[in-house]
Amino acid sequence: MTVLENFENNPVIISEKFIHDRELSLKARGIYFTLLALKDSDRRLGKLIKTSVESKTAIRSGVLELESAGYISMSNGKITVLEVDGNANL
Write the CA distances from 59 to 11, 15, 71, integer angstroms: 25, 23, 15
pLDDT tens figures, 34-80: 888 888 889 999 999 998 999 999 999 999 999 999 999 999 999 99
The residue with greater pLDDT, 43 or 8, is 43
Q: E strands of the chain, at which residues?
A: 2-5, 11-14, 72-75, 78-81, 88-89
Q: Please tell me whether residue 61 adopts helix, strand or coil conformation.
A: helix
Q: Name the CA dihedral angle for 75, 44, 14, 28, rounded to a multiple of 10 degrees.
A: 90
